[in-house]
Amino acid sequence: MKPPAFDYAAPGSLDEALALLAAKRDGAKLLAGGQSFVPALNFRLARPELIIDLNRVPGLAGIRRDGDGGLLIGAMTRARAIERSEVVARSNPLLHSAIPWIAHVPIRNRGTIGGSLAHADPAAELPAIALACDAILVATGILGKRDIAARDFFLGVFTTALRAGEILTEIRFPAWPPNRRHGFAEFARRHGDFAIVGVAATIDVAADGAVGDARIVVFGAGDTPRRAREAEAALAGSHPDTGALQRAAALAANHVDPPSDHHASAEYRRELAGTLTRRVLEQALAPRARAA
Ligand SMILES: Cc1cc2nc3c(=O)[nH]c(=O)nc-3n(C[C@H](O)[C@H](O)[C@H](O)COP(=O)(O)OP(=O)(O)OC[C@H]3O[C@@H](n4cnc5c(N)ncnc54)[C@H](O)[C@@H]3O)c2cc1C
């Protein structure tokens, strides 16, 4: 497959990239890791006049803690860098545990967190994690920056709240409370394939074992990742037993409106949403080994 003809620019600063983007508007596309965009180009699903390569823009990659214990990740940070980061492992274990489910190492070596979020594939892991963690996505345009909450960012299949002329520059993950537990599971035909359905959860557990804030996000079962709010509400304040986890799982399954396609029927996806929700809740609430 060959891409259509295009002009190419490799700006050396964010200002230069923003100016190029502002000048071309809809005629330009950004290139990050290229792991989704280059196949789309080669299949001629994308026909930009100009490709703006972000790989030489300084300051867009990196992982650091903010003053409040949260995590700041530059949009051009590779998935593999996040996977190997001890800061991420300590500061956001859900993000850390989900990354190895993305494709394979060579793809994670190139693919970026910003590219994955901006691409907004409904079956992708990182949008679901951003939603489960209440992440803030920072969009930068020539007029300045604006914060977009993950819950407002994913609008539909491959559609986000980014405006023409904006570049996703940074992702902020709020601090991870010490009493927060997490679970993550997905089902794909082969390891490395996009999930047919996946579920990510965080559960804040009080000292007496009661569930505080619970977040359950189902992905691959609709146009965007979605919080299973009825299941979350059923768990909040409870000391859940096996029956309660099963009831929450059933609520999560009822909450989704999955498509049927050549990978799986809607009914099968709904079933998976329930089964995987029960599994992630069990993971999150499993008794912890105490440090000696
Ligand atoms: C075989 C294969 C298997 C895969 N399996 C999975 C999987 O299991 N799970 C998964 O989540 N992904 C999977 N992917 C996709 C991979 O994770 C991509 O890396 C990711 O979706 C896009 O990131 P990228 O950096 O490569 O972005 P690119 O492909 O460069 O860009 C993707 C889109 O985002 C836009 N964009 C990129 N960066 C920015 C930015 N900073 N601001 C605004 N717009 C931007 C681009 O213009 C483009 O429209 C797979 C890819 C392949 C080839």
Phi, then psi, of 59 in degrees rounded to 5 = 85, 0
pLDDT score for 218: 98
Residue 279 has pLDDT above 90, yes or no: yes
Phi, then psi, of 171 in degrees rounded to 5 = -125, 130
pLDDT band with cut points at 50, 70 and 90 for residue 289: low
Task: Answer whether CATH 3.30.43.10 is correct for domain 7-54.
Answer: yes
Sign, CA dihedral 110-112-117-123, equals positive
77-86: long-range contacts (C-beta < 8 A, 24 or more apart)? Answer: 77/112, 77/113, 77/114, 78/33, 78/108, 78/109, 78/110, 78/111, 78/112, 79/107, 79/108, 79/109, 79/111, 79/112, 79/113, 79/116, 79/126, 80/105, 80/108, 80/109, 82/113, 83/108
pLDDT band with cut points at 50, 70 and 90 for residue 25: confident
Give percent above pLDDT 90 in the chain.
92
CA separation for the pair 173, 196 (Å, rounded): 26
pTM here is 0.96
Q: Locate the domains of the chain by residue range.
A: 7-54, 63-173, 180-285
Ligand 1 contacts CB of residue 37 (under 6 A): yes
Average pLDDT of the chain is 95
CATH fold group of domain 63-173: 3.30.465
Q: Ligand 1: distance of its center to the CA of 287 in Å?
A: 36
Specify the higher pLDDT residue, 200 or 289: 200
Kindly report, residue by residue over 121-132, the tens digit of the pLDDT: 999 999 999 999
Residue 253 has pLDDT above 90, yes or no: yes
Question: What mean pLDDT comes out for the span 108-134?
Answer: 98
Residue 290 has pLDDT above 80, yes or no: no
Write out the H or E segment, with its range, that includes residue 94.
Answer: helix 93-98
Residue 156 has pLDDT above 80, yes or no: yes
Residue 292 has pLDDT above 50, yes or no: no
Residue 291 has pLDDT above 60, yes or no: no
CATH fold group of domain 180-285: Enolase-like; domain 1 (3.30.390)
The ligand 1 atom at the shortest distance from the C-alpha of residue 46 is 49
220-229, 230-239, 281-290: which range is least confident on average? 281-290
Residue 115 has pLDDT above 90, yes or no: yes
Ligand 1 contacts CB of residue 82 (under 6 A): no
pLDDT score for 287: 83
pLDDT score for 26: 81
Pocket test for ligand 1, best of 6, 14, 36 (most atoms within 8 A of CB): 36
Kindly report, residue by residue over 64-107, the tens digit of the pLDDT: 999 999 999 999 999 999 999 999 999 999 999 999 999 999 99
User: Is residue 133 within 8 Å of 173, Cβ to Cβ?
Assistant: yes
pLDDT score for 192: 87
User: Is residue 28 within 8 Å of 51, Cβ to Cβ?
Assistant: yes
- Which residue puts its alpha carbon closest to atom 36 of ligand 1? 115
pLDDT score for 178: 95
Question: What mean pLDDT comes out for the span 256-266?
Answer: 92
Q: Ligand 1: distance of its center to the CA of 255 in Å?
A: 28
pLDDT band with cut points at 50, 70 and 90 for residue 1: confident
